Amino acid sequence: MNNSAIIEIRELRKVYRIGQVDVPALRGVDLDVQPGEFLSIVGPSGSGKSTLFHIIGGLTPPTAGEVKVGGQDLAALSDAGRTRMRRRTVGFVFQKFNLLPNLTARDNIAVAHYIAGLGTHPDAEFDEVLRLLGIASRLDHKPNALSGGEQQRVAIARAIVNRPAILLADEPTGNLDSENSNAVLEVLRDLNRRLGQTVLMITHNPEAAAFGHSTVHMRDGRIIDRTNTTS
Amino acid sequence: MTGKLVLENLKNRPLRSLLSILLIGVPVTLILTLVGLTQGMLIDKQNGQRGVGADIIIRGSTVSSVISFSGASIPAGMVDKVQQQPHVKLAMGVINHPIELPLFITGMDEARFNQMSGGFTFDEGGPLAGPDDILVDRLYAAQRHVRLGQTLKLMNHDWRVVGVIEPGKMARLVVQMRTLQELDAATGKLGQIYVTVDQPSHLNLVVEELRGLLKNYPVNTMDDYTAMYNVNQIPAIKEFTVVVAAIGVVIGVAVVWLSMYMVVLQRTREIGILKALGASKAFILAIILIEATLLGVGGTILGIVFSYGAQWLIRTLVPASFQMAIVYAWWPRVAAITLAAAILGALYPGLSAARQDPIEALAYE
């Protein structure tokens, strides 16, 4: 094991039971991610990208193998333990933004801060992050009054408001046009460069993947290749 | 923040929220109306009896409950016998005939009644003059659109309305005693006797004397008698109230259950988002329970407001037959019943929301 890695995965397997059939989603994944790394994960549908993402994010337990995130062994955590881990260790950004539609952008960010037990008001330093994301003037609007790009930037703000060790972005540009996609990817790269935020990003788009330091290729539940980006 | 989440959820589904509150409010109104009717009618009867101005009441030997009247089972001659007892100032017999319940016609000797009570206050017209004359009180006149001088057919008999009286003294409909006795084939018989004593200090003494004299007839001071006008003395009313309250609980549970079940279905994705953010099962359950509690509070308030509406309707449509009181003591009870029903109804949807798998919830369309 690499002791400095923020994510350490060995022989990770995940099997879903669908009806009476066992469906293997991950068939032995090994992966290390260093703090401050921006890693892209690419692969065809059904290759296991999302399952890997869900296990690292503590949304589902592994079937076998070892997964350590920020030093915590996820296989040893109960459901409640994984719930607690999600509050501060990881932040999620989804393809469909997944903002709470009844709350303003400000409250969508505040609710994550509140659930983490940190109160409803992020500290003043976070205002700088909001300016970096370009949403400081849009915070009192509800999601239906925001563009897709703005919604995704609010989702990013929500994901990092608790200063998580890892930001997990699942197809963050999948629902955006190229202009907004670029803006969101720039934001992710900025966060990584300026704040040292570790980012794992699933994408189908090779151009988007190129924003990361390295790219992991998955197929049939396995990592088949890891390449460094030359940019 | 929890409160804001709940309030925004309620605000964003206004029709569902209002419909739920309305459906919860209806059984609240039913319970308050039933209790209010029971209390209101007891208070009205109590006031009517107190309005006679008597100190003692003697009821017939065939009386079946503590507050009811008997048929005409008291010989009319007993009035004179009572009148002759020491310290008795005045004895007056009356006879009652039920028409459409809860209304009665009362036959009385108006001269003695005037002596005992100070007489009726007339809105219109004057006292009984002939055997077919009838006095109606203001409420009956309003309910039946009765006017002075018109003929009123009651007990298959034509009565001439000679006076409209202020309510609150013994009866809504008053006729001469002899006519009512004849119509009821009860000539020489009475339903009850009212007695006044010469001094208040002699009241208990007179009651004891009369109890000794009239062994089979219930004899009570008016204070004791009117104090018996309470819910516990009316057969089956408590059980009936419990049944209506139970129906209210069942409706409340069903409404909240359905409503919150729909909420959980509609917000599956939102629940998934909250779980992805690290919301605990308790947090998710709390949101659902708080929302149900607010619906319960809204339903209780609406039910109370509607109970005033029910009172207005009863006063407008049937002021003589029914009286409804607003029973404040039942507000906290009905609130407790409703909130318990709301929480019970929200428990299953809340627990199923709390148990949702975050990945499946996030994938929900």
Cα gap A226→A229, rounded to integer Å: 10
Residues B36 and B91 in one domain: no
Let me know if residue B170 belongs to a domain: yes
Residues B203 and B308 in one domain: no
Residues B69 and B211 in one domain: yes
Nearest to B1 among A59, A101, A111 (CB): A111
Residue B64's pLDDT is: 63
- HSE at residue B276, side-chain half, CA atoms within 13 A, is 32
Last residue of a domain, one of B190, B217, B244: B217
- Contacts from B206-209 at CB under 8 Å and sequence distance 24+? B206/B55, B206/B56, B206/B85, B206/B86, B206/B87, B206/B88, B207/B56, B209/B85, B209/B86
The residues with which B158 forms a beta bridge, in sequence order, are B153
Residues B307 and B190 in one domain: no
Residue B65's pLDDT is: 61
Let me know if residue B80 belongs to a domain: yes
Helical packing angle, B14-50 and B2-12, nearest 10°: 90
Let me know if residue B275 belongs to a domain: yes
Residue B363 confidence (pLDDT) above 70: yes
Let me know if residue B48 belongs to a domain: no
* B262 contact A CB<8A: no
Residue A224's pLDDT is: 93
Residues B210 and B254 in one domain: no
Q: Which domain holds residue B250?
A: 2-43+235-363
* A117 contact B CB<8A: no
Secondary structure of chain B as H, E, C letters: CHHHHHHHHHHHCHHHHHHHHHHHHHHHHHHHHHHHHHHHHHHHHHHHHHCCCCCEEEECCCCCCCCCCCCCCEECHHHHHHHCCCCEEEEEEEEEEECCCCCEEEEECHHHHHHHHCCCCEEEECCCCCCCEEEEEHHHHHHHCCCCCCEEEECCEEEEEEEEECCCCCCCEEEEHHHHHHHCCCCCEECEEEEEECCHHHHHHHHHHHHHHCCCCCEEEHHHHHHCCCHHHCCCHHHHHHHHHHHHHHHHHHHHHHHHHHHHHHCHHHHHHHHHCCCCHHHHHHHHHHHHHHHHHHHHHHHHHHHHHHHHHHHHHCCCCCCCCCCCCHHHHHHHHHHHHHHHHHHHHHHHHHCCCHHHHHHCC
How many contacts does A have with B, using Cβ atoms within 8 A?
67
Let me know if residue B227 belongs to a domain: no
Lowest pLDDT segment from B90-104, B207-221, B237-251: B237-251
Average pLDDT of the residues in B137-150: 93
Let me know if residue B23 belongs to a domain: yes
pLDDT in tens, B49-68: 889 999 999 998 777 665 56
Peptide bond into A164 cis (omega under 30): no
Contacts of A101 in chain B (CB under 8 A): 12, 270
Q: Is A198 helix (H, G, I), strand (E, B) or coil?
A: strand
Residues B21 and B94 in one domain: no
Residues B11 and B95 in one domain: no
pTM score, whole prediction: 0.81
Residues B207 and B249 in one domain: no
Contacts of A114 in chain B (CB under 8 A): 1-2
pLDDT in tens, B269-300: 889 999 999 999 999 999 999 999 999 999 99
Q: Domains of chain A, with CATH numbers?
A: 35-58+83-228 (3.40.50.300)
Lowest pLDDT segment from B187-201, B208-222, B239-253, B270-284: B239-253
Question: Chunked in runs of 10, what are the mean pLDDT values of chain A (231 residues)?
Answer: 80 91 93 94 92 94 93 90 91 91 93 91 84 88 92 92 92 87 89 90 91 94 87 52
Last residue of a domain, one of B158, B186, B217: B217
Tokens encoding B40: 């209101």
Task: Report the domain count for chain B.
Answer: 2
Contacts of B283 in chain A (CB under 8 A): 115
Q: Which 270-289 residues of chain B touch chain A by CB within 8 A?
A: 270, 272-281, 283
Residues B71 and B212 in one domain: yes
Cα gap A103→B69, rounded to integer Å: 66
Residue B69 confidence (pLDDT) above 80: no
Residue B180 confidence (pLDDT) above 50: yes
Nearest to B1 among A87, A88, A114 (CB): A114
Nearest to A86 among B5, B9, B277 (CB): B277
Q: Cβ contact (<8 Å) for A103 and B275?
A: no
Residues B11 and B80 in one domain: no
Interface pTM (ipTM) of the complex?
0.92
Let me know if residue B55 belongs to a domain: no
Last residue of a domain, one of B154, B183, B217: B217
Let me know if residue B51 belongs to a domain: no
Residue B213 confidence (pLDDT) above 50: yes
Q: Cβ contact (<8 Å) for B276 and A83?
A: no
Query: How many other C-beta atoms can be found within 10 angstroms of the C-beta atom of residue B302?
Result: 19
Q: Cβ contact (<8 Å) for B1 and A110?
A: yes
pLDDT in tens, B300-349: 999 999 999 999 999 999 888 888 999 999 999 999 988 998 898 889 98
Nearest to B270 among A54, A59, A100 (CB): A100
What's the Rg (C-alpha) of chain A?
17
* B269 contact A CB<8A: yes
Supply the DSSP symbol for A47. S
* A81 contact B CB<8A: no
Residues B262 and B181 in one domain: no
Residue B148 confidence (pLDDT) above 70: yes
Residue A1's pLDDT is: 47
The residues with which B24 forms a beta bridge, in sequence order, are none
Residues B79 and B121 in one domain: yes
The residue of B2, B271, B273 whose CB has the most chain A CBs within 10 angstroms, and thus the best one to mutate to test that interface, is B273
